[in-house]
Copies of this chain bind each other. A is one copy, B any other.
């Protein structure tokens, strides 16, 4: 097809973006594998998604990308996603709230891999900052703006936003934050188009499962992945 009618820069459905992120994670597992190609069917099975869904996602983003008959070249697809989604830069991150979840993330380097690096931890409790043993720099929360700006920190994980979540958010935004993963129970929303928030509430997630189970038992099994 030589027609220049490809809608590459049209809007890509959010669910597609999310799935492609998971595809990327999956492809990373094939680093030292003899396998060099993968089919949409394989990807779909691993992710619990239909194969045509995966093909559509990839097509939304790049138009043609695979070799018909033998699937996608793993390295090539990985690089394409990397380029398009900006995974080729290292990103700095910080953790806000050094309770047990926060320190777990800090110490186990749960979110460190090739792409992300935790540069700082924040807590409003000075005692905690003094007693914690870690080689990552710790600061009181009122220094968020400066530290985020000076260390070019783009991402924050919030495990506890204290009694005044909006102040934490304001400081992050003033420092130039771009993305926030929020584990605290208060829902965070961003009114800025260039700052994105992902809320994850464990209790809420449990409740969602309970609700699905309850509704499922009342109504006869309806489709779910």
- Residues on A lying within 8 angstroms of B by beta carbon are 4, 9-12, 17-18, 20-22, 24-26, 46-48, 84-87, 91, 93, 99-101, 103-105, 107-108, 110-111, 113, 115-116, 154-155, 157, 178-181, 185, 187, 189-190, 193-194, 196, 198, 200-222, 224-225
Contacts and interface: CB of A to CB of B under 8 A. Distances in A.
B187 A47 contact: yes
Q: This chain: how many copies in the complex? A: 2
Given A48-B187, A110-B202, A207-B21, A9 B218 contact: yes
24 contacts: A9-B219, A11-B222, A17-B208, A17-B212, A21-B204, A22-B204, A24-B207, A26-B187, A48-B189, A84-B214, A85-B210, A86-B214, A87-B207, A91-B210, A101-B101, A101-B108, A115-B207, A155-B209, A179-B210, A181-B202, A194-B213, A194-B216, A194-B221, A200-B200
